[in-house]
Structure 1
């Protein structure tokens, strides 16, 4: 919905909702840091720099797109967007994002390979791997089809363990890719887990970091009000600003019946009520409060685009007058964002595509 022209001076900051910054949730190795040592931690560790040595975590290892690891890594959950040369031991799950490159053996209870991932090595999954009990989740149709078509790819199946041997072929990895788990409208990574994301784009130079932080916190709080929890973030880029943050929803007994379209439609309705100053007694207090916080945070920038799961929120200008709109993300826009997520740094173009 197009909200029309908004007077920036009419909003107050009293509705801001406090939450923890994503950066405070991790033991973090920065982008320009190089370490030659073995690391063992009870906390989640996020690697944006280069580590030569083994890394072990009792929670999660996150290797960002700028990260490199030369050595073994072991954790219940491992998510890779960067480069690994060494063995991977994922006791629960392994996610290889499109920018990932892995050379070495992989052992995981279950794994997801996203389009563009680069693998040179063996993947072993199943009941007997790393003393886990649950079966591996495959994208069966695409994996089996490609295995039958390609003579130099091998798959060995038994009731307990499955092994996929990959040769060095990026095109091959694309063809056996699992369903993308990071998407604008929320896709299932497994039968009980839905992953969705925030894509935040702010055009221009010299944007105040305090403004960016406030917007990210407000957007994250809004996702939490919809039932998602924070999972991972990529390193931001600047001039223009862009960042990708991932949120998950566990489909437990309490929210299993939730329809994602209904969830995001409720969020869009809350934004409409707040931006149009409408009273809605049926809307939950938490989501309305987070929508107000998001509205307040938008005062800090002249233009921005942000996806909130299956919602796209755009602020742009017509002359000197700000225009704000919110819509559910269409399949066409979803595909565009999937192919070019940094298009959120061009709010005017997104606005034009929404209404033309």
Structure 2
């Protein structure tokens, strides 16, 4: 779905899908990847990648390995690895993540907590620039995935 060319993030396939037009309330415990394009209220714990699609509206506390937000999220998000907000994504609540990327137009209202990344000796750090964000946004619009 997201990974047509075998590159980019999120590159993992969606194992579970909650589609547009529906609403769900409760607690989700998911050991696979999950995509939400509808409305959800409650709590989400996901061992894989959680994707909130552009039509997704989530009011929940979220814990996942990776979180990709293209819709609206109201609540606290903990991403063990990375949290990505696209140009259409918004997060209203606290965010804790190893890596945080916000594309131009993305909205984050709340507190942010990040762990300092551990880097191997002699490794050079990389910087996410406006050009990188623009390229990822362009890939997402044209190919359905960000690289």
Q: Same fold (TM over 0.5)?
A: yes
**Are 1:111 and 1:137, in contact at CA under 8 Å, matched by a contact in 2?**
no
**Are 2:103 and 2:137, in contact at CA under 8 Å, matched by a contact in 1?**
no
> Which blocks of at least 5 consecutive residues in structure 2 are unaligned?
1-12, 120-124
After superposition, the C-alpha distances for 1:218-243 in whole angstroms (9 at most, x for unaligned) are xxxxxxxxxxxxxxxxxxxxxxxxxx
**Are 1:37 and 1:53, in contact at CA under 8 Å, matched by a contact in 2?**
yes
Match of 2:36 among 47, 62, 65: 47
**Equivalent residue, structure 1, for 2:85:** 96
Does residue 124 of the first structure (1) align with residue 105 of the second (2)? no
> Which blocks of at least 5 consecutive residues in structure 1 are unaligned?
1-23, 128-132, 143-176, 185-195, 200-243, 249-356
Greater helix proportion: 1
- Greater gyration radius: 1
Does residue 106 of the first structure (1) align with residue 90 of the second (2)? no
How far did residue 134 of structure 1 move?
3.3
CA RMSD between the two structures: 2.7
Match of 1:73 among 62, 65, 78: 62
- TM-score (normalised: structure 2): 0.77
Instruction: List structure 1 runs of 4+ shifted beyond 2 angstroms.
Output: 133-139, 196-199
Cα distance, 1:137–1:79 mapped onto 2, change above 3 Å: farther
How far did residue 26 of structure 1 move?
2.6
How far did residue 126 of structure 1 move?
1.7
**Are 2:14 and 2:34, in contact at CA under 8 Å, matched by a contact in 1?**
no
**Equivalent residue, structure 2, for 1:255:** none
**Are 1:106 and 1:123, in contact at CA under 8 Å, matched by a contact in 2?**
yes
Greater strand proportion: 2
**Partners of 1:45 and 1:125 in 2: how far apart?**
23
- TM-score (normalised: structure 1): 0.33
